[in-house]
């Protein structure tokens, strides 16, 4: 059907949508199909031609309104954003390094290096369930470390501003 739609001039990017409309139309008109009048292939081809012609008709009537160009902000981060990003990255690495080595191993291997858990388990010689438990503990511990740092920094800012 997609090749027929191509021969009927439907652009490749719209063929699957038009094919879906063909199947919907066929499903809706199935009760009216009479096998005595012709084979199902011919009936489906006729529906395909009909839907493709309606597609072309709609495309001829489609109107696009051109608008003025929109001014976009500079996509490059400013110096402050770059420094803040570096600070967050450094803080996260420091927090990961504070984790228990057993927990850090699973978190780094799976979440940072992208190694599947089954492969990490095989390499470490541990059951998969153990590694999933350690990963959950590592994420919780990492969250606690970061929350403690944020709380400490907020407290330091409050004392400093007085």
pTM exceeding the 0.75 threshold for the entire prediction: no
Q: What's the mean pLDDT when you consider all of the chain?
A: 86
pLDDT bucket at 62, cuts 50 / 70 / 90: confident
pLDDT for 136:
94
Higher pLDDT, 62 or 153: 153
Which tens digit of pLDDT belongs to each residue from 19-58? 998 999 889 988 888 888 888 888 888 999 999 998 888 8
Decide if pLDDT at 89 tops 90: no
Least confident of 90-94, 104-108, 126-130: 90-94
Q: Which CATH architecture has domain 79-161?
A: Orthogonal Bundle (1.10)
3, 153, 155, 157 from 160: Cα distances, Å: 72, 10, 9, 5
- Domain-wise residue ranges, the chain: 2-61, 79-161
CA distance 49 to 8: 7
Q: Rounded to an integer, what is the distance from CA 117 to the centroid of its chain? A: 22
């Amino acid at each position: 059907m997609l090749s027929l739609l191509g021969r009927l001039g439907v652009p490749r990017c719209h063929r699957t949508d038009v094919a879906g409309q063909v199947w919907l139309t066929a499903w809706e008109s199935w009760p009216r199909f009479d096998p005595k009048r012709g084979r199902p292939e011919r009936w489906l081809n006729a529906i395909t031609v009909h839907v493709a012609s309606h597609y072309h008709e709609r495309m001829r009537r489609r109107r696009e309104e051109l608008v003025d160009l929109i001014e976009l902000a500079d996509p490059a981060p400013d110096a402050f954003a770059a420094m803040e990003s570096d600070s967050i990255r450094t803080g996260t690495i420091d927090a990961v390094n504070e984790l228990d080595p057993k927990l850090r191993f699973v978190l780094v291997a799976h979440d940072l290096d992208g190694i599947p858990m089954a492969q990490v388990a095989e390499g470490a010689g541990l059951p998969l369930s153990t590694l999933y438990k350690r990963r959950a503990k590592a994420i919780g511990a990492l969250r606690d470390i970061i929350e403690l740092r944020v709380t400490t920094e907020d407290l330091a800012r409050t004392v400093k501003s007085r």
